[in-house]
């Protein structure tokens, strides 16, 4: 019987969820959903010293905003493998059972070394010009552990309550091979692998043991994580082997790094690209730093997810815009790149712009209302019709990246201009063009229907009658109506403003500019 596809996202509640973590969750979600499997949220809180209040709730809220909700796990309902917090699982004795099994089979051992003794060991190795000082098959021979001490000494230390850890016993000079879905076969010599701590002195498991035990118990089929975990993978392969559970080891997929815009190094949460690094606002109480989120900046979750999917993955086509369902259908790990993906702030805004343009005008109008309430008087705001608001959104969204830009890009739709673009006036205003503005104002007064098509025909006919090219006066005409030299489609703007308002604005412009 084929193994059910089950993937987990297992963050530590040590701070805000960085966009790199969201991408790991996204790729896991896409693969699970494509194969009609399960996506699980597990909280890896074994390091209680780094636990941050509110981080777990932030993770849950972020996944909900992104639209990639687990169907099982913390905050999303218990499945058959609850609890899903490692601190709660530790109380059940799950991790100790597996650690004891490794000791019994001779693949793990007890170590009593103090932090001072560990520091002294590192200094000795550094003095001996060892490139990567570590606790391994060589250095452990000179340390205080159950491999160097007699059984009696070990028993005395245990009976006396001496703090100890349990370490993995890595063999000397052995080839460790494993297959990664993205990178293919990886071969590492065990001399490069240290004796990882599996169980800490407080009885808490480290990541190295805990995630393996949980993946076995929760029947995880695929484990997705960042490439920074690649050096630890050989240790994990050994643990599965020594537990006699290699058949239960998930298929591994190590995602490429997300790089800074210049490609120089890993993108960090303190990157100053001007684009958020977190899905939602996050305040770090420990450092006093506040990080702005994609949600609060005005990004749509669909745009954020679409952008994130394209960081390190490609569909094999020129298509760039994908709904979540389309991403699920198209996603494969085989199309995830091995090399790092450069983060592009401008491209990130471009994605939001595309989704903004696709939004219904009615939805955009609702999002725009709070901005209008801030900038208009109550009486002015209350007079705005739904039709007018939606019409403004339809026109201004073409040149905006965010709804928050609608006001700056289109406030003249609500407040008639009192000043006019000086450069355009200097270049375009003369006796002939002033005469044309007067003529077109009169022509507009006589129109019975005031549509974009009708006003454009009238505009061009008046220009021809005045002996002036329509292109020569089009920008000046726009400035007279809006005060600025650029904007949305001109005659659609004229139609929306309406005959009375357009005639009034043109008359005001003629008098003001003349004087």
Asked if residues 258 and 227 have their Cβ atoms less than 8 Å apart, the reply is no
Half-sphere exposure of 433 (CA within 13 A, CB side): 22
Is 338 in a helix, a strand, or coil? coil
The DSSP letter of residue 10 is -
Is 340 in contact with 259 (CB distance < 8 Å)? yes
The DSSP code for 484 is S
Decide the pairing of beta strands 289-291 and 282-284. antiparallel
Q: How far apart are CA 180 and CA 470, in angstroms?
A: 64
Backbone angles phi, psi at 342, to 5 degrees: -75, 130
Catalytic residues: 269
Helices (H), 229-377: 233-242, 294-297, 301-309, 324-330, 345-358, 361-375
Distance of alpha carbon 10 from alpha carbon 39, whole angstroms:
11
Q: Are 274 and 345 in contact (CB under 8 A)?
A: yes
Buried-state track 61-73, b at ≥16 Cβ within 10 A, e below 16 = bbbebbebebebb
Query: CA-to-CA distance for 253 and 183, rounded, in angstroms?
Result: 8
CA distances (Å), origin 414, targets 101, 149, 266, 475, 494: 74, 83, 45, 20, 13
């Amino acid at each position: 019987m084929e193994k059910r596809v089950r993937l987990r996202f297992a963050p530590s509640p040590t701070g805000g969820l960085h966009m790199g973590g969201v991408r790991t969750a996204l790729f896991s979600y896409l693969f699970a959903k494509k194969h009609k499997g399960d996506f699980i949220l597990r909280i890896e809180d074994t390091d209680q010293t780094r636990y941050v209040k509110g981080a777990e709730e932030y993770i849950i809220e972020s996944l909900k905003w992104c639209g990639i909700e687990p169907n099982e796990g913390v905050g999303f309902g218990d499945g058959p493998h609850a609890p899903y917090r490692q601190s709660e699982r530790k109380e059940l004795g799950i991790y100790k059972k597996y650690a004891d099994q490794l000791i019994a089979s001779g693949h793990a051992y007890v170590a009593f070394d103090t932090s001072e003794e560990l520091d002294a060991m590192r200094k000795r190795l550094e003095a001996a010009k060892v490139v990567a000082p570590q606790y391994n098959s060589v250095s452990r021979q000179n340390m205080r552990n159950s491999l160097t001490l007699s059984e009696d000494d070990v028993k005395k230390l245990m009976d006396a309550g001496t703090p100890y850890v349990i370490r993995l016993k890595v063999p000397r000079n052995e080839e460790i091979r494993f297959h990664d879905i993205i990178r293919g076969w990886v071969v590492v010599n065990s001399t490069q692998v240290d004796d990882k701590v599996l169980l800490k002195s407080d009885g808490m498991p480290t990541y190295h043991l805990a995630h393996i035990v949980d993946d076995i118990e929760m029947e995880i089929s695929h484990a997705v994580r960042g490439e920074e975990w690649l050096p630890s993978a050989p240790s994990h392969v050994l643990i599965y082997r020594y537990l006699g559970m290699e058949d239960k080891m998930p298929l591994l997929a190590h995602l490429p790094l997300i790089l800074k815009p210049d490609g120089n190094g890993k993108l960090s949460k303190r990157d100053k690209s001007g684009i958020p690094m977190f899905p939602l606002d996050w305040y770090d109480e420990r450092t006093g730093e506040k990080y702005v989120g994609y949600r609060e900046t005005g990004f749509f979750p669909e745009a954020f997810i679409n952008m994130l999917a394209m960081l390190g993955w490609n569909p094999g086509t020129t298509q760039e815009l994908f709904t979540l369902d389309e991403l699920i259908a198209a996603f494969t790990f085989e199309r995830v790149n091995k090399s790092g993906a450069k983060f592009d702030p401008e491209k990130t805004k471009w994605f939001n712009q595309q989704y903004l343009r696709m939004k219904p005008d009615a939805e955009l109008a609702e999002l725009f209302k709070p901005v209008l309430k801030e900038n208009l008087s109550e009486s002015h705001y209350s007079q705005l019709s739904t039709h007018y608001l939606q019409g403004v959104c339809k026109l201004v969204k073409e040149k905006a990246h965010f709804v928050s830009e609608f006001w700056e890009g289109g406030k003249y739709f609500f407040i008639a201009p009192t000043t006019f673009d000086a450069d355009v006036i200097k270049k375009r205003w003369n006796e002939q063009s002033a005469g044309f503005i007067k003529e077109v104002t009169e022509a507009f007064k006589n129109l019975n229907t005031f549509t974009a098509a009708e006003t454009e025909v009238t505009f061009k006919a008046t220009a021809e009658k005045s002996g002036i090219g329509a292109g020569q006066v089009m920008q000046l005409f726009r400035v007279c109506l809006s005060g600025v030299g650029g904007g949305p489609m001109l005659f659609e703007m004229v139609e929306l403003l309406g005959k009375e308002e357009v005639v009034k604005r043109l008359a005001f412009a003629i008098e003001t500019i003349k004087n």
